[in-house]
């Protein structure tokens, strides 16, 4: 269940950041968006990795 919720949260935040970047089109916002997406991807990866280690 945590994997599903983590995936949904990742997609929702990615969609929000995408709309924000497309609508505002500012260069400094691109940098912040890239940083946020990188942190989101790391969080999703660590969440999924920890889930798989619990089963061992």
- The string of DSSP codes covering 2-53 is HHHHHHHHHHHHHHHHHHHHHHH--HHHHHHHHHHHHHHHHHHHHHHHHHHH
Domain assignment present for residue 56? The answer is no
Q: How confident is the model at residue 48 (pLDDT cuts 50, 70, 90)?
A: confident
> What would the two tokens of residue 56 be?
């061992």
* pLDDT score at 51: 67
37 within domain boundaries: yes
CB 40 within 8 A of CB 13: yes
Total domain count, the chain: 1
* Predicted pLDDT of residue 4: 86
Containing structural domain, residue 33? 2-51
């Amino acid at each position: 269940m945590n994997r599903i919720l983590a995936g949904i949260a990742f997609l929702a935040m990615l969609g929000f950041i995408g709309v924000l970047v497309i609508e505002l089109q500012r260069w400094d916002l691109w940098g912040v968006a890239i940083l946020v997406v990188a942190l989101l991807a790391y969080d999703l990866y660590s969440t999924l990795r920890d889930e798989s280690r619990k089963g061992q």
